[in-house]
Amino acid sequence: MAGTVGDSTYSRLHSELDSEIANLDEEIEKIDNRKRIDTDTLSKVMGLCLNLPKTYSEASDRLKKHYLHLFFSRILVQQRTIVETKVSPLFEVLIEDKEVILSSNWLRRQDSNLQPSP
């Protein structure tokens, strides 16, 4: 009976494969949930961002802080100058998936509130 598997071996292999498949299914579900949450969150954020410069400039300091937390998890300021930033987890995923492109190619002679720089 070459090429056949006994009942005990079959049962053991079947259990091992079922366990591996269950683990893979859990991982797939986690990834799907993460993408779904990220997409839902992004839709909500983008709804807030339709006119972000105007909304931000008219917001209270407390709301401005919340707006910044949508995009950044950390902003390091030294002597009134931003020296380091860390993007929020949502945008890290978008950057990894190349859904968001970061650029330092800003408009010349414009500061952060779109007023001409001196």
- Spell out the SS3 assignment of 33-73: HHHHHHHHHHHHHHHHCCCHHHHHHHCCHHHHHHHHHHHEE
Position 111 in a domain: no
* 111 within 8 A of 117, measured Cβ to Cβ: yes
Position 103 in a domain: no
Position 113 in a domain: no
Global pTM reads 0.44
Position 109 in a domain: no
Per-residue pLDDT of 75-107, as tens digits, reads 998 988 888 889 888 888 888 877 777 776 655
The count of domains in the chain is 1
Position 112 in a domain: no
Position 78 in a domain: yes
Query: Is residue 45's pLDDT more than 80?
Result: no
User: What spatial distance separates the first Cα and last Cα of the chain, rounded to whole Å?
Assistant: 89
Position 45 in a domain: yes
- Residue matched to tokens 């997409």: 39
Confidence of residue 51 (pLDDT cuts 50, 70, 90): confident
Please give the residue range of the domain that contains residue 70: 7-96
Angle at 56 between CA 53 and CA 57, to 5 degrees: 85
Q: What is the pLDDT of residue 1?
A: 46
